[in-house]
Amino acid sequence: MEKDQTSESPHAASDVLIAEKLMVKLEKIMEEHNYQRSALLEVLQKAQEIFGYLDRKVLLLIAEKLHVAPSQVYGAATFYNFFRLRKPGEHIITICMGTACYVKGADKILSTLEQELGIERGKSTPDGRISLFITRCIGACAMAPNVIIDDVVIGKATKEGVIERIRKSAGGEN
Ligand code: FES
């Protein structure tokens, strides 16, 4: 596998060390699954937990180790909303777009946020502070519509409430 020397920051050496340690962790997880192709989704999930997102290098390593075509790995990673292919922002907003939440107006919250933040779903603001994602049902339909802000689930969310909350979190007011 080709070496990827992308980092030009003064912390490049320590960044590489950390990245290598994380790669070892991922390798161990694949080993635990006996490098089975059938473990692809689980491995992708773990890889995202480890790295925070799935970049090209990680996807290629998984493809190589599990003997799956890179296009298939990429296809799985892009098919599920859960997976992130870009480095997330400091604050992550995820809107549940499952049926119950959709019916209760999750799409309107989403379009308001896209407008307010000036970004589309799946993207981060240019300053890297906020990322906006959507997900499928998170299993809290009774509280629809649900929005997750930095791991906190906001049930019966409203556009105004979510914007207010984002301003507080991203503005460091709490
Ligand atoms: S559809 Fe959103 S929690 Fe079920």
Cβ 146 under 6 angstroms from ligand 1: yes
Q: Indicate whether residue 109 lines ligand 1 (CB < 6 A).
A: no
Q: Which of 110, 133, 135, 137 maximizes ligand 1 atoms within 8 Å of its Cβ, making it the mutation to test the pocket?
A: 137
Domain ranges of the chain: 12-79, 91-170
Is ligand 1 within 6 A of the CB of residue 137? Answer: yes
| Second-level CATH architecture of 12-79 | Orthogonal Bundle (1.10)
- The rounded percent of the chain whose pLDDT value lies above 70 is 87
Q: Is there a contact between 54 and 47 (Cβ–Cβ < 8 Å)?
A: yes
Mean pLDDT, the chain, rounded, equals 86
User: Looking at domain 91-170, does it have CATH number 3.90.1150.10?
Assistant: no
Q: Which of 141, 147, 156 to mutate to test the pocket of ligand 1 (most atoms within 8 A of CB)?
A: 141
Token pair for 94: 């995820």
Best residue among 94, 95, 96, 103 to mutate for probing ligand 1, ranked by most atoms within 8 Å of CB: 96
Cα-Cα-Cα-Cα dihedral sign, residues 108, 155, 93, 101: negative
H or E segment at 95? strand 91-96
Predicted model pTM: 0.63
What's the pLDDT at 11? 54
Q: Is the pLDDT of residue 150 over 90?
A: no
pLDDT digits (tens, 9 = 90+) for 39-66: 999 999 999 888 878 989 999 999 999 9
The Å distance, Cα 99 to ligand 1 centre, comes to 6
For β-strands 152-154 and 130-135, DSSP reports them as unpaired
From CA 169, how far away is CA 172, in angstroms rounded?
A: 5
Predicted confidence (pLDDT) per residue in 100-136, tens digit:
999 999 999 999 999 999 999 888 898 888 989 888 8
Give me ligand 1 centre to Cα 65, in Å.
35
Confidence of residue 8 (pLDDT cuts 50, 70, 90): very low
